Structure formats: structure tokens, C-alpha cells
Amino acid sequence: MAAEIFTEDYKITNFETNLHGTITLQYLLDVIVQASEDQSQAINLGTEKVQENGVTWVVIQYDVDIKELPKAGQPVKLQTQGTSYTKSFANRHFWIRDMDGHILVEVKSLWVMMNLTTRKMVRIPESVVTPYGSEKVKRLERLHKLHKFDVDNAKKMKFPVTFNDIDFNGHVGNTRYINWMSDTLSFDFQKGRLPTGFSIKFEDEVRYGDQVTSEVNIIDDGNTTVHQIMVDGKARSMAEITWKKIN
């Protein structure tokens, strides 16, 4: 039996959109994460409840396929499903649909469970996955393998990590990273293109007070950009964004 799909209505606000009047990549992740947090609350498996066991969910990667970016004021359906899991990994799917049910955005994601004291990966307890109806499997579907980053041809930009970047769980919200990444691209680049998808991978946390360096390679005639977020010479997150020209 497939895992339960949780659905909730949402309306894209004006401030979640950019010059194009379409949702920014950061808010795209923010709204789908909101849906999964609402699902978890609804079955009494919110962050606080999970952390009572000394563990917490950590996202490793999002693979985002954008058919059409939601627009300012657009009512949408947010859907999420704790699809399947192995001993150490779990898959969660997300969909943003228009009110007629057409898929606007589809997201696959990979999660692990971390021990809060040792900060090490641990075996996923059945009690935190079975309530979602998640299917136990031998192997999970592979997520996208990112393009190798070319440090020698990188353009760089620095951002301070601030109090307002810290979320209500006390960590720097990792949805923030994708905007630090896309913000390295010029005004003209972004004005003339819309993203058709992205994959983002998280390696290590960024902390309050850090100065992050966001690095970018523009490849494939501007149809693909490759990104990394560095702190103290160490990559904390990598991504690949695909683009289409407009007008």
C-alpha cells in the first residue's frame, strides 16, 4: 500500500515572488517544507516529538522539477508523501498543483536521521516512519548526481549569516542557501531566464555569524549553473540549476 498523501491549500503571496511575479526558489522550498511540517503536526510527529527520542530529521538533497512556477496570488495545492525508507535513508515526495490538479512543481527528497548528541547518522526508528504509511524498501531511487564544480572558473559573492536566517528550530534555515546561490547570477541573466529545475545537496551546517561565500559556474550556454556554498574553505552545500530563456 502506498504511503498517505497529505494535501493542503495554499495561496502564493506577493512577497514570495520576484521580478517575474513567480515564486523564488527559496520560498518554493519553504512552502513545501511547511506542508511536511503540517503533516507531521497533524499525526503528532512534529519536530519536538521526534526530538524527544534524541534524534532529528536532516535533509540531504532536494531534486526539484519545475513545469511552471506558481505566481503571485495563485491558489495552489501543496502535497507531500513520506514515500519509502531503508535502514538509514528516507524518501519524501512533494507536489505543488494548480487547483485543477495539474502538476506545477514536483520534488523528490532524501533524508537521514541524526543523533542530536553525537551529530552522527543513526538507524531510522520505525515509530517515526510507519505513521506516514511509508513503505520499507531495500533500495531507494537514486537522486540526481550533481555536476562537478570548477573552482578555477567560479564567480564569488559573500553573504553574512544573520539572526533572521535562524529558523524556529534554532538552525540556519537551509532553504536560505538556494537564494544565496541564485543571487550570484547577474540581473540580466535572471531577468532573461526562468529556472526549470534544480538539485541541492546539503553537506554540513552553516552557522550564525559565518560569512558564506557563494560560488557559481555558468555552463552549457547559460542553460545550467553549478553552485557551492563555502564556509572556511569547506563546501556546505552544492547545487545545479537549469534555466530556460524567456522573451
Q: Cβ 135 to its own copies, closest distance in Å?
A: 27
Among 36, 27, 64, 19, CA closest to 176: 27
Stretch near its own copies under the rule CB under 8 A, chosen from 7-15, 86-94, 138-146, 216-224? 7-15
Q: Is 30 helix (H, G, I), strand (E, B) or coil?
A: helix
Stretch near its own copies under the rule CB under 8 A, chosen from 121-129, 135-143, 170-178, 194-202? 170-178
Nearer to its own copies, 16 or 84 (CB): 16
Q: Cβ 139 to its own copies, closest distance in Å?
A: 32
Task: Tell which positions 102-121 bind its own copies, by CB under 8 A.
Answer: none
Contact 93, 36 (CB under 8 A): no
Place of cell 559573492: 157
Q: Which of 3, 6, 28, 33 binds its own copies (CB under 8 A)?
A: 33
Q: Is 98 helix (H, G, I), strand (E, B) or coil?
A: coil
If binding is defined by CB under 8 A, does position 185 make contact with its own copies? yes
Stretch near its own copies under the rule CB under 8 A, chosen from 11-19, 92-100, 123-131, 140-148? 11-19
Nearer to its own copies, 19 or 246 (CB): 19
How far is it, in rounded angstroms, from Cα 177 to Cα 214? 9
| Range list of β-strands (E), the chain | 6-11, 55-66, 75-85, 90-97, 103-115, 121-122, 135-136, 155-160, 193-202, 211-219, 224-231, 234-245
Site track 62-81 with its own copies (rule: CB under 8 A), x = hit: ----------xx--------
Q: Which of 53, 115, 130, 179 binds its own copies (CB under 8 A)?
A: 179
If binding is defined by CB under 8 A, does position 213 make contact with its own copies? no
User: Residues near 47 by Cβ (< 8 Å), separated by ≥ 6?
Assistant: 37, 40, 56, 57, 169
In degrees rounded to 5, what are phi and psi of residue 32?
A: -75, -35
How far is it, in rounded angstroms, from Cα 29 to Cα 121? 23
Residue 17: DSSP 8-state: B
If binding is defined by CB under 8 A, does position 7 make contact with its own copies? no
Binding site for its own copies (CB under 8 A): 13-15, 17-21, 24, 26-27, 30-31, 33-34, 37, 41, 72-73, 157-160, 162-164, 166-168, 170, 173, 175, 179, 182-183, 185, 187, 190, 208-209
